[in-house]
A and B are shown apart, each in its own frame.
Chain A
Amino acid sequence: MDALKLELKNKIITVLNLEDITLGDINDNDPLFGDGLGLDSIDALELIVILDKDYGIKLIDPKEGKVIFQSIESMAAYITANRTK
């Protein structure tokens, strides 16, 4: 689980091009959207593609992302439970 969380943090920084953010800036339970890391709806769509491409999880409705992408913790838990690769 911890390895997955680290992997996700690295992915988020690279894919979302968060140049000035370091791994230490993202805590497992920090909100990724809004007041936390400040991600927005387009970032959510990018995260949906990460789920699909890297973990074989297909989301049909972008609204599902709201719960899954609350934090690194929730994302890792969802991936662990649903991954197909």
Chain B
Amino acid sequence: MVKGVAITGMGIISSIGNSVEENYISLINNKAAITTIENISTVHANSIKVGEIKKTNAELIAQLQLDKESNFSRTALLGLIAVKEAVANAGITSINEYKTGLISATTVGGMDMTEKYYYDYFENPEVRKYIISHNCGDVAQKIASEIGLKGMVTTISTACSSAANAIMLGARLIKTGKLDRVIVGGTDALAKFTINGFKTLMILSDGYNKPFDDERKGLNLGEASAFLVLESDEIVKKENKKVLARVSGYGNANDAFHQTASSENGDGAYLAMKKAFNVAALDPSEIDYINVHGTATPNNDLSEGRAILRIYYEKSVPDFSSTKPFTGHTLAAAAAIEAVYSILAIQNNVVFPSLNFETPMQEFNLTPQTTLKHKNIEHVLSNSFGFGGNCSTLIFSKNK
């Protein structure tokens, strides 16, 4: 079996908690945080619910002790919080001591500021500092600069699978020896832009999202950020580092079916999972828990379910759940927060519940795990799929 790349630190902020510990406590206590939106004024406030982090930008700036004159977008603020926790968790004191990189992921970048000041920019010179923050790359640049990182810094944007690809790239950079250490993850803030975008696609739920339920009506958007620290085995050995878990498999494929919808049989999802099993040299039967993409849109869950059934052809599908009823769909951050949840599942030997599930889908016989389940967890598979057919699968394994 392939050993995989060591994960030595993680950090997260989401609607269910401001740290790894807070997120874990919420997950094992069924404490979802899908609420009415407060930080953004939108005409849809009464018709949608979101996974919003109940902190204003001013509060985040204060928490990070940033200069009040700084030009951080909310996406960058959330990103920096998670990165700082991950770096501290990995016990890193000298960031450039080894060849270190940062691979971030975002879909909105600084859209929150762009939509706020779209016309104001012309009237008010004071807000013009945010013009440059629109660029997705600005988020990673700012995070790197705050933690003093000098090296390879890049950003991936593949819609809702973005952070999975950041983790995948990071693992490959460590494996090939291009980097010794890499901080990988994703961040996305809620924005009017995405709320209205998903609204036009008519895939926002008017209530709470119900993944893999026959009556599912769509997703709740959320905002979050999570980052992992990946390190080479040389560093782990030399510094006697604690390894939280390992990235043992990854796969990326394109559905090449439609601009937004997934194919009937989930070709892209199937290929991504298959590739991940090949990289990990694992058999599907060795997976103890699947953290599904499970957005609760009619299309995703049907396509993903079919792809899973193709992988587990005539074999039993392992316990699976979607954690999106807790956090909402956090777009570019989704795969990163779910990576943290996968690692927590391995560390604590638990399967997190899929909330809100009532009725199995008519098309197939798949029932998610609806209550917290304690059992030994060696390997977790996490799926993330995005518009444009971008499908990614990650496999996390217990450190041996």
Contact = CB atoms under 8 A, between A and B. Distances in A.
B200 A45 contact: yes
Q: Which of B200, B202, B258, B259 has the most CB of A within 10 A?
A: B202
A40 B258 CA distance: 10
Contacts of A42: 259-260
Interface string B218-234: 00000000000000000
Q: How large is the interface on A (under 10, 10 to 19, 20 to 34, 35 or more residues)?
A: under 10
B50 to A, nearest CB: 19
Interface string B222-253: 00000000000000000000000000000000
A41 interface: yes
B1 interface: no
A49 B202 CA distance: 11
Contacts of B195: none
SS of B interface (majority): loop
B261 interface: yes
A41 B298 CA distance: 13
B2 interface: no
Interface in A23-51: 40-42, 45, 48-49
Nearest to A61: B202
B201 interface: yes
Contacts of A45: 200-202
A62 B260 contact: no
Contact of B261 (A41, A48, A49, A61): A41
Contacts of A61: 202
Contacts of B201: 45
B1 to A, nearest CB: 42
A39 to B, nearest CB: 13
A15 to B, nearest CB: 13
Nearest to A65: B202
Interface of A: 40-42, 45, 48-49, 61-62
Given A40-B258, A41-B258, A41-B261, 10 more contacts: A41-B260, A42-B259, A42-B260, A45-B200, A45-B201, A45-B202, A48-B202, A49-B200, A61-B202, A62-B202
Interface of B: 200-202, 258-261
Nearest first, the 8 closest Cβ-Cβ pairs linking A and B are A62-B202, A41-B261, A45-B202, A45-B200, A45-B201, A42-B259, A42-B260, A48-B202
